[in-house]
Amino acid sequence: MKRLSKKRKQDSHRLEALFNPKSIAIIGCSGDLTRLSGRPLKFLLKNDYPGKIYPVNPKYKSIEELSCYQSITKVPEPVDVALLIVPVKLIEEAVEDCIRAQTRSAIIFSSGFAELGKEGKAVQDRIARLSENSGMPILGPNCLGLINVQDSIPLSFSSALDEDSILPGSTALVSQSGAIAAYILGTAREAGIGFSHWVTTGNEVSLDSFKVAQHLLEQDAVKGVMLYLEETRDPQAMMEAGRIAKTIGKPLVALKVGRSTSGRRAALSHTGALSGSDAEYDAALQKAGIIRARHLEELLDLGVVLSSSPKPSGNRVAIMSISGGGGILCADRCEDLGLEVPVLSQGTQDKLSEVIPRFGSAKNPVDLTAELVASPGMLGKSLEIILNDADIDSIVLFLGGNRKNGEKLSLDIVNVLRANTNSKKKPVIVSWMAAPKEAVRILREKEIPLLFDGVRAVNALGRLYEGKTGAYERELPVSGTERSDLLKTTLLHMASSGATANGTISLSESVSKQLIAQCDIPVPDGGLAKTPEQALEIAKRVGFPVVAKIDSPHILHKSEAGAVQTGIEDEKALTSMFDQIINNAKNYCPEADIRGVLVERMIGDSVEMIIGLKWSDKFGPMVMVGMGGIFVELLKDVSLRIAPVNHREAKDMVSELQTAQMLSGFRGKKERDIEALLDAIVAASRIGADLGSDLVELDINPLFVLPKGQGVVAGDALVVLKSMEAT
């Protein structure tokens, strides 16, 4: 453990060197600063970079009065960061030179690597190994570099730096796409939004976006990190970044694009077909505690609101508006999102009535009317009154236009929020349509969350509230436990009875049920009968009516084979069914290994659900729960998480189901044993975590959920393992 923490410290130093370098080498620097390879120097000079700059290019003796070096190995000191702008064919040598010169970190701007096919991929892989072996972190290749806005250090050739100065801010942007990062920068600038850091990670040969995010989250100047992701190369780094964000209490927001991968979807298993790979990302981001933005505008909105707002302690929203219409717009959206807009208490209404005009409204939405522009202090006074109302958890303030009074109004807001300590626990989100420039400047400077649309303001508040309710302790995977070893041994025994096909082993229902029963998921009373006499014995023990079904690892579709019979009422029926089931099974699949007939007690009044497990190569074991029967197929009504999950997560999964109401005594039916259902989800998720990649799939379908207090029972189970030869 000590070594690990020493390594982390080293890594952290190296990243510090990358993000805040005291010395910079520019390898391949052009003497013509208008050229692409001259621009990084131009931008450093333009921003009065105070550290040392070493241009490296055998063609020049000096560039812009700076000595120019033949090679980085000739530079008089090891530099903090080397910027590499050299052709792909020279890259490996340049990286080796950097390592030789004890360079602390590097950025490769050049493109032409994995994105261009096999050959480029091979070069990229070799650079990755150089980075790994030397410990020198590399940003890129195929990226636009980074800008440390806080300290005015541009390490980029992006033309964004050509235009205006970059606005400083307190959130960092990390993007796998350089172009998108540049456009976000442009859009943000128009909205007066600044960044603390702007980082593009490109092909991520050594520095994964989540590793960058981890480093940035730990910086005092950074209040939150926004990510633009096309692919997660390092799921572990993602989990760790989420953990750090949670520990430090800063928001980590990610926009993950690339959902429309129609090809990949088809290849997935049944559970996979229902969840899809975007659902896996959803589950993984959720597990990591990372907030998912659904599109670019929302990424920016959440960056603004989440990094500068306290979390509301409840869902009661007061809307204050300069116009009736604005209040309605916001109230409508609140209701959509389950946020309450309660009528204000009489006390608060009385106080407000003394401040706002007679033709306004003190109820909620509070209509301050356009008079607020003419009446000095009216906005501030009413804001103060509502901040002090203990029955309100958050405030949305809707304003519009008012170029002449922008400064006055925004200062009024700033002053009240600064003076009133309740603003530390109650979010106040300002929505100001066509906001005047002066107001934007003031509110941004004071980090008061400002958006330009009422609905977007309420949307962001909704996510802020979600963050509050979803902030529970997640269970993180632990590998190599004693239980895990034990289970794997059991499995090894069971596998010998299974049916092998396509690198997988399917277990029969009875064997699958043995496994889940051992892991505390209840199965029906019953047993495996080799003869009609044994079947009768079992039926007598568990009591009629019973269910009888073929037990064979080769027959997975038992109904289709005519090899299952429910509701067998007496001995005679059972005896005749026994032979029929065996015969039907043999006709259906002559070469099937028939282990016998499984005889079980019939399960009465219940709600049918399904629990599934599957292995994701990217994210590891995943657990799914859904409403069974017609619902899962008709509505795709399922919820997916990375396994294991704890009780609280299981509860969230169930409450996400569109049909969750069926469990709570719907339509005069009895309330179901939800606690037992949650236990079963947790138990199943642990099987997934313990067995890891050995378990390809586990389906419990149906899982009968009985009335409250009576538990759950697995109606059927199917375990599919990875073939032992394949491991």
Closest CA to 451 of 333, 303, 323, 318: 303
Q: Which stretch binds a second copy (CB under 8 A): 122-130, 239-247, 398-406, 613-621?
A: 398-406
- Counting contacts by CB under 8 A, is residue 452 touching a second copy? yes
- Counting contacts by CB under 8 A, is residue 404 touching a second copy? yes
Which of 85/244 has CB closer to a second copy?
85
Find the binder of a second copy among 659, 675, 707, 710 (CB under 8 A): 659
CB of 188 to a second copy, least distance (A): 8
Q: Which stretch binds a second copy (CB under 8 A): 244-252, 256-264, 581-589, 690-698?
A: 256-264
Find the binder of a second copy among 46, 189, 586, 647 (CB under 8 A): 189
Q: Which helix (H) or strand (E) holds 273?
A: helix 270-288
The answer to whether 111 touches 121, Cβ cutoff 8 Å, is no
Which of 151/278 has CB closer to a second copy?
278
Report CA dihedral (515, 518, 519, 520) to the nearest 10 degrees. 130
Which of 189/647 has CB closer to a second copy?
189
224 φ/ψ angles, rounded to the nearest 5 degrees: -175, 160
Alpha carbon distances (Å) from 562 to 421, 535, 565, 589, 701: 71, 18, 8, 11, 18
- Counting contacts by CB under 8 A, is residue 370 touching a second copy? yes
Which of 187/313 has CB closer to a second copy?
187
Q: Is 712 helix (H, G, I), strand (E, B) or coil?
A: strand
Give me the helix-helix angle, 118-134 and 88-100, nearest 10°.
Answer: 10
Find the binder of a second copy among 183, 391, 556, 656 (CB under 8 A): 183
The answer to whether 28 touches 57, Cβ cutoff 8 Å, is yes
Size of the site for a second copy (CB under 8 A): 67
305-334 residues in contact with a second copy (CB under 8 A) are: 322-326, 328-329, 331-334
- Counting contacts by CB under 8 A, is residue 276 touching a second copy? no
- Counting contacts by CB under 8 A, is residue 109 touching a second copy? no
- Counting contacts by CB under 8 A, is residue 60 touching a second copy? no
Question: Pattern of binders to a second copy over 209-238, x per CB under 8 A?
Answer: -------------------x-x--------
Residue 1 tokens, joined: 């453990």
- Counting contacts by CB under 8 A, is residue 366 touching a second copy? no
- Counting contacts by CB under 8 A, is residue 439 touching a second copy? no
Find the binder of a second copy among 169, 454, 462, 628 (CB under 8 A): 454
Closest CA to 555 of 525, 530, 513, 584: 584
Q: Which stretch binds a second copy (CB under 8 A): 156-164, 266-274, 480-488, 492-500?
A: 156-164
Which of 662/676 has CB closer to a second copy?
662
- Counting contacts by CB under 8 A, is residue 353 touching a second copy? no
- Counting contacts by CB under 8 A, is residue 591 touching a second copy? no
410-429 residues in contact with a second copy (CB under 8 A) are: none
Those residues whose C-beta lies under 8 Å from the C-beta of residue 380, and which sit 6 or more positions away, are 412, 413, 415, 416
Closest CA to 592 of 647, 554, 538: 554
Q: Which stretch binds a second copy (CB under 8 A): 202-210, 521-529, 629-637, 640-648?
A: 629-637
The beta strand positions in 434-513, using DSSP E, are 450-451, 499-501, 504-506
Alpha-helical runs (H) found in 150-232:
178-190, 209-217
Which of 24/458 has CB closer to a second copy?
458
CB of 372 to a second copy, least distance (A): 11
Strand partners, 638: 626
Query: Is the Cα dihedral 175, 176, 182, 187 positive or negative?
Result: negative
Give me the helix-helix angle, 324-336 and 454-469, nearest 10°.
Answer: 30
The strand pair at 81-84 and 224-229 is best described as unpaired
Alpha-helical runs (H) found in 136-253:
178-190, 209-217, 235-248
Degrees to nearest 5, angle at CA 675 with 673 and 679: 120
Question: Pattern of binders to a second copy over 161-180, x per CB under 8 A?
Answer: --x------------xx-xx
CB of 182 to a second copy, least distance (A): 6
Which of 440/491 has CB closer to a second copy?
440
The answer to whether 528 touches 598, Cβ cutoff 8 Å, is yes
- Give the burial class of 573: count Cβ atoms within 10 A of its Cβ; 0-12 exposed, 13-18 middle, 19 or more buried: middle
Which of 281/704 has CB closer to a second copy?
281
Give me the helix-helix angle, 674-691 and 482-495, nearest 10°.
Answer: 80
- Counting contacts by CB under 8 A, is residue 667 touching a second copy? yes
Which of 230/537 has CB closer to a second copy?
230
Q: Residue numbers of the site for a second copy (CB under 8 A)?
A: 111-112, 115-116, 159-160, 163, 176-177, 179-180, 182-187, 189-190, 228, 230, 257-260, 262, 295-297, 322-326, 328-329, 331-336, 341, 358-359, 370, 400-401, 403-404, 433-434, 452-456, 630, 633-635, 658-659, 661-662, 666-667
